[in-house]
Structure 1
Amino acid sequence: MPESDPRANRSSASASANAASSAKRWFLLDGNRYVLVAVLAAIQFGILLALGWSGLLPMASASANNSLFASANTGLFTLVTITISINQLILSRILGTPEEIQTRMDSVETFRSRLDEMDPQKAVSPIEPPQFLRFVMTVLRDRARALDAAFEAESHDTRTGERVDELVDSVSLLSERVVEKIDREARRTQTKDMYVSLAPVLNNNYSQHIHTVRFLRATLADDLSESESRALTELEAVLEQVNLTRHYFKTLYTHEELATLTQAMLLTGVPALFISALAVLAFGQGISLGQPANVLLVSATFTVSTVPLLILFSFVLRLTTVAMRTTTYGAFLPAEELPGGR
């Protein structure tokens, strides 16, 4: 009997792991939230049908169905309270006095001007978030190349040269991958969703790169030329601005996502509440169409009644995942922010 090829087994295992990782990322982050709601609703509907037709759930009982939808009504009213709370959170962040709004506008303009000055070509940064991120990454790549050129012009020991090369390669690769993701997403979709701008900079260890720059400056303090010191300082400054861009985009994304969530819950919550109330009235009168018809009716009606809850689950799932992967502002590097993090 021929032995299996270990390389083929490893390749198959790697492909399975990659598929599982991609499915997990789609579920947590990249998947369209409405598509995820539809998938979860279809799964729930299928499970209810299977349990009902197998006789494991007593869907022919009018009293049991009445209790089920009465509980669903209570849950839907609770979701209304949650929606109001979300609206209060959004409004508390976007409303303010003229002075407060002016301060916010000035801080954003200062941030943009600082990045424009870091660009060797002194270009004006774009106003579209994806293109702005592309601009920032281009500046980062140029500063990494400038660092490489500065150290090539001087003589250092082999270990120092290797550290600088690793830093330059890592930063350059990071910026190129982000630019590729932005360009690929721009070709694939015309959506203006802020998540499209935030996704390319999740799970990138900018804090580690900043730490490496500071480590090189500290260990080579007496051996650095003026051009090398300037190149390290400029690269660190751009890395800090990239980290700031990431967190600012996270803020914009969170506001947008919460507003979208609130709107979706309101648009689906009212019809779901109406349908659930009709079911309570119908089954409260003892109406029963028999086991097969009741199973189909109850499964479909209950699935529709839980759509607002599924919307809340899918949106909050991504919000919390994004929050976990961007927890710090540069001082530390938790496991969630590493490329291999959760």
Structure 2
Amino acid sequence: MDTSDFEGTGASSTVGRDTGGPIDSARQWLLLDGNRLLIGLALSALVGGIVYALVVTGYVGVGSGSNLPTLTGSGLTSGLLTVLTVTLSINQLILSRVFGSTDKLSDRLSGTIDFRDEVERLADVPASPSNPAEFLALIGETIRDRTERVREATDGANEDLSESLDVIAEYADGLSDMREKNDDTTEVLSTLLGPGYADNLVTTQRLRNEYAEDLPEAAADHLQAVHELLKAVAVTRQFFKTLAIQQDLAKLSRMIVYFGLLAFVTLVFLTLTYTKSAVNVGPALRPWVTSVGLGVVSIPITVLVSYMLRVATVSLYSVSVGPFVPPEERSVD
């Protein structure tokens, strides 16, 4: 039986997820690549626009006798305080990852150093870069070099081997191109969420097993190095995922504090504009004041939503560690 015929066991040249078209690209920007603050503010502007449309069309009343004072004075205030408690929970989660005893911190440091030492040994370099994009680029360049050595050792006599090496080399070139990316950890991570590394892991394992007796010793050693480097990509992906999520949660907690204070002041203002028998804002300004005010009040929620969308997306598309890839990681939906 030819295992290369199974779906997901062929080599892949794609670094990241294949979005499949402009609609899927827009969805990926919204869920993953887009600026979280910009998306949160855009959602708040949408909330304000919807409120304005409902008020001017008469579906929602904001004049004397409306329920707006009750809504702003109790309902929204309670909800805002709940969001702030969420911030405390997020900070506790971050601190639980940052703090630790000396032995645990030492073990984590030793594991990171051992991992970098292994990559440096395979790449034959004195030290590996600390920048995530440059580190992945080093792995890609080393995979490309090792595949070329396998091809030279076998003289390209095996067509199946040569074709698989060509595809893996294209994947390695994609990793090498990460050197041109900026220092944003999330951007680097977004290019690693596809199943390419897993497909190439399976392919290199198949090539090693299927042609174990036919490959020269030098070619087998280089193919083994390619396999180890692809495993390093898998480990790096999970490590960068941890860093990216921790950074996002830290930014989120800070923004909720900032915008939570702004939203609280806005709620107080909206509540004080209403008295028991009258409204201190003229009829012409009420739709604008109400829509802008509620839009500002919604910012902590929309920012929370925008960040949680990315955290959930990263978690969904990077569950696998190794050659097992759930269908969700392959799907563009």
Same fold (TM over 0.5): yes
Asked if 2 retains the 8 angstrom alpha-carbon contact of 1:335 and 1:341, the reply is no
Which amino acid in structure 1 is aligned with residue 324 of structure 2?
F
Residue 332 of structure 1 pairs with residue 324 of structure 2:
yes
Counterpart among 143, 146, 169 of residue 166 in structure 2 = 169
Residue aligning to 1:6: none
Residue aligning to 2:258: 267
Alpha-carbon spacing, 1:45–1:181, altered in 2? closer, same or farther (3 Å): farther
Residue aligning to 2:68: 65
Residue 24 of structure 1 pairs with residue 27 of structure 2:
yes
Q: Distance in 1 between matches of 2:332 and 2:144?
A: 24
Q: Distance in 2 between matches of 1:66 and 1:260?
A: 32
Residue aligning to 1:148: 151
Alignment of 1:5-16 (within 5 A): none
Counterpart among 225, 231, 235 of residue 234 in structure 1 = 225
Asked if 2 retains the 8 angstrom alpha-carbon contact of 1:60 and 1:295, the reply is no
TM-score (norm 1): 0.85
Counterpart among 30, 33, 37 of residue 34 in structure 1 = 37
Q: Distance in 1 between matches of 2:84 and 2:277?
A: 29
Q: Which runs of 5+ in 2 are unaligned?
A: 1-19
Residue aligning to 1:118: 122
Asked if 2 retains the 8 angstrom alpha-carbon contact of 1:198 and 1:250, the reply is yes
Q: Which runs of 4 or more aligned residues in structure 1 lie more than 6 Å from their structure 2 counterparts after TM superposition?
A: none
Residue aligning to 2:177: 180
TM-score (norm 2): 0.87
Residue 198 of structure 1 pairs with residue 186 of structure 2:
no
Q: Which runs of 5+ in 1 are unaligned?
A: 1-16, 187-191
Choose between structure 1 and 2 for higher RCO, CA contacts under 8 A separated by at least 6 residues: 2
Residue 128 of structure 1 pairs with residue 131 of structure 2:
yes
Alignment of 1:66-105 (within 5 A): 66-69=69-72, 70-105=74-109
Counterpart among 243, 250, 257 of residue 252 in structure 1 = 243
Asked if 2 retains the 8 angstrom alpha-carbon contact of 1:83 and 1:262, the reply is yes
Asked if 2 retains the 8 angstrom alpha-carbon contact of 1:150 and 1:231, the reply is no
Hey, which of these two has a bigger chunk of helix by percent? Answer: 1
Which amino acid in structure 2 is aligned with residue 252 of structure 1?
L
Residue aligning to 1:304: 296
Alignment partner of 1:292: what SS? coil
Which amino acid in structure 2 is aligned with residue 259 of structure 1?
A
Q: Distance in 2 between matches of 1:74 and 1:48?
A: 20
How far has the Cα of 1:286 moved from its partner? Answer: 4.3
Q: Distance in 2 between matches of 1:237 and 1:102?
A: 25
How far has the Cα of 1:182 moved from its partner? Answer: 4.2
Root-mean-square deviation (CA, aligned residues, Å) is 1.9
Residue aligning to 2:15: none
Q: Distance in 2 between matches of 1:173 and 1:58?
A: 61
Percent identity of paired positions between Structure 1 and Structure 2: 29
Asked if 1 retains the 8 angstrom alpha-carbon contact of 2:47 and 2:298, the reply is no
Alignment partner of 1:320: what SS? helix
How far has the Cα of 1:47 moved from its partner? Answer: 1.6
Residue 207 of structure 1 pairs with residue 198 of structure 2:
yes
Q: Distance in 2 between matches of 1:228 and 1:61?
A: 83
Residue 50 of structure 1 pairs with residue 53 of structure 2:
yes
Q: Distance in 2 between matches of 1:244 and 1:59?
A: 55
Q: Distance in 2 between matches of 1:306 and 1:29?
A: 21
How far has the Cα of 1:206 moved from its partner? Answer: 1.1
Asked if 2 retains the 8 angstrom alpha-carbon contact of 1:205 and 1:337, the reply is no
How far has the Cα of 1:170 moved from its partner? Answer: 2.0
